[in-house]
Amino acid sequence: MAKEQIFLNKKVYGIQSIKDSIDREFVEFSLKNFEINELFNIYNALFYDISLRGTKSHSSIVKESTKYAGYPRNPLLDEIENLEEQIVDIKEEIDSIEDEHPFIKNHSVIRNRNDEQLNYYIQSGRKRQINNDDAFKAIKTQTGKIKLPDSEFVILLNSQAIGGIVSGPPINTVEDISIDVLEINRFSMNNSDLPAPRNIHRN
């Protein structure tokens, strides 16, 4: 039996030939860049197939997202803060309303009958001790009674009657006379004081 000869041809590539002939790009291994919309589309498609608990579950997604973004703000907190601001505004409006004493008119001056140095200006139903002579004169001027003798200008009360009137901030300067009603009303709230009595002993 005749022997069959098989010829093997070996092709040798040069360096330049290799560069020109062989594709050295690994296209099959390149990573795909996903769009954010694709992520949510996949999540929505698999939503009911994802377990509620476990390492790959809705709970784990929430846990990881919370680590990064923090807990979402409770909308009830916004409503509570809004209501609290409204309460503060309403309270300020109420406290800004001028009050009145049941018997002594606002803008009157009362004096302790046992000590003529103890004079008080009635504002918003509260007694404000006058600690300045210029302020006393300014009050007389504002009330149009600057020419009136002090004995006719002031209202004499005993210590018990004066002590029963709610106190306001003292008047140490002329400028103190014109402070806001809000400040006068809130002074008694921030300082312990006796409530205004129902009866005033006036002589």
Q: Summarize pLDDT for 86-136 with one digit per residue, the tens.
A: 999 999 999 999 999 999 999 999 999 999 999 999 999 999 999 999 999
Report the topology of domain 109-190.
TTHA1013/TTHA0281-like (3.30.2390)
Question: Would you state the structure tokens that stand for residue 26, as one six-digit string?
Answer: 């690994």
| Contact of 92 with 181, CB cutoff 8 Å | no
| pLDDT tens sequence across 30-79 | 567 778 888 888 889 889 988 999 988 989 888 888 888 888 788 899 89
Angle at 175 between CA 169 and CA 179, to 5 degrees: 50
Domain chopping of the chain, boundaries: 109-190
What is the sign of the dihedral through the CA atoms of 157, 158, 159 and 161? negative
109-112 and 155-157 beta bridge pairing: parallel
Strand partners, 202: 157
Band the pLDDT of 200: cuts 50, 70, 90.
very low
3-class secondary-structure state, position 84: helix
Give the pTM.
0.59
3-state secondary structure the chain: CCCCCCCCCCCCCCHHHHHHHCCCCCHHHCCCCCCHHHHHHHHHHCHHHCECCCCCEHHHHHHHHHHHHCCCCCHHHHHHHHHHHHHHHHHHHHHCCCCCCCCCCCCCEEEECCEEEEEEEEECCEEEEECCHHHHHHHHHHCCCCCCCHHHHCEEECHHHHHCCCECCCECCHHHHHCCHHHHHHHHHHCCCCCCCCCCCEC
Question: Would you state the structure tokens that stand for residue 61, as one six-digit string?
Answer: 């997604």
